[in-house]
Amino acid sequence: MRLRKKPHTDEKLQAFADFVTQGDVQPIAKDPARELFVELGTGKGDFITQIAERNPQINFIGLEVEATCVLAAARKVRERQLTNVRLIVFDINRIAEIFSPHEIDRLYINFCDPWPKKRHAKRRLTHARFLEMYKTILKPDGEIHFKTDNRPLFDFSLEQFALMGMSVRDVTNDLHAAEPADNIRTEYETKFSAAGVPINFCRATFGA
């Protein structure tokens, strides 16, 4: 998904500078006493705002490359008066530059772009190339929670997790058949579910 940047998005983001950063890598104020959960490809923020509201004791960071999406997410954060969310306009390809080794407790990958062409496989956020990066910043027992509507991407991802020696749990090809009470639907999840597309889910860890 590539949104065209609306005029003045950057200036509008300035109004949220207390919890939004953009452009070059900037230091992130982190609190080592709290767990840190990071969402990759936050989109317009439905997921991160809901999960942050339900878990005020956990810090959340959303990474999203499209400034227009970050602006929409920022408005939701402010509306809900959340103090445990930071949003960064950022390309996940550079994720290892902004986190210290093994500081993240959990990564959420929700409905990432499937990049269906084989020659683009390395761009998938669950490709081993990315998993290598996540391994350096996730705690040894940290988890990746992965959801997608795209079955070929899901099967590919399970292969990549196995290739990396990861343990995988709670694998399902139809999450909504018995939807866990704590499941939070993302924008894409709501859309696909309404269209009758089953949602795949699993959680994976480099630990046991």
Active site residues: 113
Stretch that binds ligand SAM, among 6-14, 22-30, 59-67, 73-81 (CB under 6 A): 59-67
Dist CA 47 CA 31 (whole Å):
22
Among all chains, which residue has been given the structure tokens 């993302």?
Answer: 186
63 within 8 A of 40, measured Cβ to Cβ: yes
Cα end-to-end distance, the chain, whole Å: 35
Measured from the CB of residue 183, what is the shortest distance to ligand SAM in angstroms? 13
Burial of 74 (0-12, 13-18, 19+ CB in 10 A): buried
Measured from the CB of residue 197, what is the shortest distance to ligand SAM in angstroms? 13
87 within 8 A of 66, measured Cβ to Cβ: no
Measured from the CB of residue 208, what is the shortest distance to ligand SAM in angstroms? 28
Q: Does residue 73 interact with ligand SAM by CB under 6 A? A: no
Q: With contacts defined by CB under 6 A, how many residues of the chain interact with ligand SAM?
A: 19
Which of residues 49, 52, 66, 104 is near ligand SAM by CB under 6 A? Answer: 66
Neighbour order of strands in the sheet with 167-172: 20-21, 85-89, 59-64, 36-40, 104-110, 138-148, 200-205, 167-172
Q: Which is nearer to ligand SAM, 114 or 142 (CB)?
A: 114
Measured from the CB of residue 119, what is the shortest distance to ligand SAM in angstroms? 17
* Cα separation values, 166 from 25, 31, 73, 149, 158, Å: 29, 28, 32, 22, 9
Token duo for residue 27: 């230091």
The residue among 64, 101, 105, 103 whose CA lies nearest residue 86 is: 64
Binding mask 112-151 for ligand SAM (x = CB under 6 A): xx--------------------------------------
Q: Which is nearer to ligand SAM, 143 or 189 (CB)?
A: 189
Which of residues 67, 69, 137, 175 is near ligand SAM by CB under 6 A? Answer: 69
Q: Does residue 25 interact with ligand SAM by CB under 6 A? A: no
Which of residues 26, 83, 93, 100 is near ligand SAM by CB under 6 A? Answer: 93
Positions touching ligand SAM (CB under 6 A) are: 1, 41, 43, 63-66, 69, 91-93, 110-113, 186-189
